Amino acid sequence: MSKKALIIVDMLNDFVHPEGVLFCGESARRIIPYVADLLNKFRSQGNPIIYLMDNHSPEDEEFKLFPPHSIAGTWGAQIIPELAPQDNDHLIPKTRFSGFFKTNLENILEDISPDEVWVVGVCTSICVMDTVADLKNRNYDVYVPVNGVADFDQEMHDCALKRMKRVYRVNLVG
């Protein structure tokens, strides 16, 4: 049986809750049950869970591109309750789109040494796709469940899925 890791990208209040600063819309709400089921499946099989979490300082450079969001220590930066982490899960705060930028994600994955890395979360065309690109640049076998990702913009979501499949040769599931 292959060893798998699950990466959950930015399933935070500011993106997934209707009162969040950068609420991704109902498409983000719709993926919660799928992500929760996949999370439970991975846990029951003893596979590692990695949460990537936008976590910014109030003066972050990203706020030139997007309104202030997921500020460290605030409600908006917290993982939604439906996907609450457990003690042995890996929690990785990040300040840029890719989960690899100035984080310990690379070291964690090297320690886990997974045969497959599954990626779910928001936003498909930004943080999901940039993290997937960096996974592929490190030669990981990547799976992206179509029912487990969402975006602000359906056109960008569709384009990102197409790009990940055609350019990165990601395994789209579902």
Tens of pLDDT, residues 103-124: 999 999 999 999 999 999 999 9
For the cut 80, the answer to whether the pLDDT of residue 136 exceeds it is yes
For the cut 80, the answer to whether the pLDDT of residue 12 exceeds it is yes
Longest CA span, the chain: 46
Question: Residue 44: which domain range?
Answer: 4-173
- Predicted pLDDT of residue 26: 97
Residue 6 has what DSSP assignment?
E
- Predicted pLDDT of residue 2: 80
For the cut 80, the answer to whether the pLDDT of residue 171 exceeds it is yes
- For 15-26, write each residue's pLDDT tens digit: 999 999 999 999
Side chain identity at residue 174, one-letter code: G
Within 10 Å of residue 72's Cβ, how many Cβ atoms? 15
Structure tokens at 32: 């919660």
The stretch 155-159 carries a mean pLDDT of 98
Report percent pLDDT > 90 for the chain.
Answer: 98
Q: Judge contact between 56 and 12, C-beta under 8 A.
A: no
CATH of the domain at 95: 3.40.50.850
- For 40-86, write each residue's pLDDT tens digit: 999 999 999 999 999 999 999 999 999 999 999 999 999 999 999 99
The tokens 């591109």 sit on which residue? 65
For the cut 90, the answer to whether the pLDDT of residue 125 exceeds it is yes
- Predicted pLDDT of residue 33: 98
Round the average pLDDT of the chain to a whole number and report it.
97
Q: Please state, in angstroms and rounded to a whole number, the distance separating the CA atoms of residues 78 and 89.
A: 15
Domain count, the chain: 1
